[in-house]
Amino acid sequence: METNNDQRVFWGCFIALVTTSFGFITRMFLLDDPTITTDLLQLDDAEVGMFKGIQIWPFAISIIGFSLIIDKVGYKFSMIFSAVCQIIWAVIGITGLYVAADNPELAKSLLFWGGLILALGNGTVEAFINPVVATIFDKDKTKWLNILHAGWPGGLVIAGIITIMMGDAGWGLKLGIIIVPAIIYFLMLIKCTFPVQERVSAGVSYKDMLKEFGFGGAAVVAFLIFLQLDQTFPGGYTTLFMILCAGMAVTLGVYTMSLGRPLMFVLILIMAPLATTEIGTDGWISGIMAGIVDFHAGWILVYTSVIMMVLRFYAGPIVHALQPVPLLILSSVLAIAGLIALSGASGVALIFGAATLYALGKTFFWPTMLGIVSEQTPKGGALTLNSVSGIGMLAVGVLGFPYIGALQEQKAVSEVAKVESAAAVPNLLDNGKVTSSALEEKAIYYGTIKYQTWKDGELDKLLEGQPDDTKKSIAAAKDSSGQKALADMAVFPVIMLVAYTLIFLYFKAQGGYKAKVLD
C-alpha cells in the first residue's frame, strides 16, 4: 500500500514533469515568434529547427547518463540537479533577451546554449521520476506511468494559456514562469524518502541491467550522439567524435557480452518516429498554423494538450480494456488520420476537429511505451526504462526537428510553383518548377537530404510590379505551405503502425501479452 510519503513523492514527480513542459512550450513559443527568429536572430526554418533541437537532444544525454548512475548518486541528488538547471535556463534566457538589442550575436549564443542547459535539467527529471513511479506502483506500471505523464500536457496547457494571455508582455517574463513550478517540486521532494528501485531490491546486478540494453541499444545511442556532436561542434572533430562514440558502444558490448534483448532493440528504434510524431509536431505546430488562422496558433497545442491530460488521467480502464500493444496500434491509426486531416483543414471547426484526431492519436504513445519497456525488461531497471525516452528525444532533436523544418522550406517552394498566376512572373518558373535565383539550396544529414529555401526578400523582388491578385495568391500559398507539410509527417505514425502490428503478432504467438515481474 502506498504511504503518505509515496503520494507526496508521486505528486512531486508530477509537478517536476509539469516544469519540463513549462520550459518546452515557452521556449517553443519564443522560437515561433518571427520578431525573434527572423528579425533578431535571422534564422530560416531549418536553422530554427536546430535551435529547437538543442533543447531536445541533450535531454537524452542526461536521462541516459543519470540512469547509469542514479542508483549510486540517488534520486534526491538528481532532483536537485534538474531544478537548478531549469532555474539557470530562465536566468540565461532572460539575460539573452535583455542584451538582444545591443548584441544580437550574444543573444543568439545565450538562447542557443541556454536550451542545452534546460534540456539537461529536463532529461534528469525523467531520469528520476520514471523509475520512482514504476517502483511505487510496480503492479500497475502502465496505468500509473500514463497518469504521471499527464503532467506533460498539463504543463503545456497551464504554461500555454499563461503565455498566450500575457499578450505583449516581455518574453523575459514569459520565460521566467518556469521558476515557479521548479521551486514547488524542489520544496516538495527535498525532505521525502525515495523508494529503492525494483531492480536493486530484487538483487539484479548492474551488469545484468546493462545486458538488457546490450550492444544493440548502445550502438543506437552512440550513432545518434555522434550525429549531434558533429553537427553542434563542426570544425574537424568528426573522427574524434566517431572514435569516442564507437568506443562507448564497443566497450559496453565487450563488458556485457550481450547484444541486448531483441524486443528492447525494436522498441528503441520505434522511439525515433514516435518522438517525432509527438514532440516534433508539437514543437512546430504553432509556427506551422500561424499563417492560416486568425487566432493565436498556440491555442491548438493547448487544446490537444487538454485532451492528452484528461485521457492520461483516466488511462487505467482504457489500458485494461485494450491492452498496451493494441492501444498503440489504434493510436497510430488516429495519429495518421489527424495529421492528414490537419494538413488540409480550414476554418475553426475543421481545424480543431482534425486536432482532436491528432490528440487522440498521440496521447498514449509515450507513457504506454514506457510501460511496455518496464513490464518486459524489469531487469533493465532505470536504464531500459529511461533509455527509450532518451533515445526518442535524441532522435527528434538530431533528426526530427531539422527534417520537419526542411520539409516546410521545400513545401514553401513547391506550393508557390502550383499557383496558376505564378507562370506569368518572369524568372520564377521553368516547366512548372521554381528555378529562380531567388532560391538557395541547403542540406541536412551530411548532404543526404537537400532542400530549397527562399533567399531573404528575393521573392518580393520578383513580384515587384505584379498584379495584387498574383501577389496575394503567391503569399497565401507560401503561408499555408507549412500546414500542407503535416501530411508528409504522417509517414512517422505509418512506420509505427507497421511496427506495432508486428509486435502484436509476436506476443500473440507467445500466448498473449504478459508483464514480467521480479521476485
**Residues in CB range of 511: below 8 A, 6 or more apart:** none
Q: Quote the cell numbers at residue 466.
A: 505584379
Per-residue confidence (pLDDT) for residue 251, from 0 to 100: 94
Residue 152 and residue 438: Cα distance in Å, rounded? Answer: 42
Residue 182 and residue 161: Cα distance in Å, rounded? Answer: 18
Q: Quote the cell numbers at residue 19.
A: 516544469
Task: Break the chain into its structural domains and give their ranges.
Answer: 4-408+488-509
What pTM was computed for the model?
A: 0.84
The CA angle 238-244-248, to the nearest 5 degrees, is 145
- Residue 494's Cβ-side half-sphere holds a number of Cα atoms within 13 Å equal to 8
Judge whether 51 and 112 are in contact, CB under 8 Å.
Answer: yes
Partners of 440 in the β-ladder: 453
Residue 212 and residue 205: Cα distance in Å, rounded? Answer: 11
**Residues in CB range of 151: below 8 A, 6 or more apart:** 13, 14, 15, 16, 17, 18, 21
Q: Which fold has domain 4-408+488-509?
A: Growth Hormone; Chain: A; (1.20.1250)
Q: Where are the alpha helices (DSSP H) in 290-323?
A: 298-313, 315-322
Please state at what angle helix 468-489 crosses helix 401-417, rounded to 10 degrees.
140
Could you read off the pLDDT tens digit of each residue along the chain, which spans 519 residues? Answer: 567 898 999 999 999 999 999 998 899 888 888 888 877 777 777 678 778 778 877 888 888 888 888 888 889 999 999 999 999 999 999 998 888 778 878 888 888 899 999 999 999 999 999 999 988 988 888 889 999 999 999 998 899 899 988 888 888 899 999 999 999 999 999 999 998 887 888 888 889 999 999 999 999 999 988 988 887 777 778 899 999 999 999 999 999 999 999 999 999 999 999 999 988 887 777 777 877 788 888 888 889 989 999 999 888 888 888 899 999 999 999 999 999 999 988 888 999 999 999 999 999 999 999 999 989 998 988 888 889 988 988 888 788 878 888 888 888 888 888 898 888 888 888 878 888 888 888 888 777 888 888 888 888 888 888 898 998 998 888 888 888 888 989 999 999 999 999 999 999 999 999 888 776
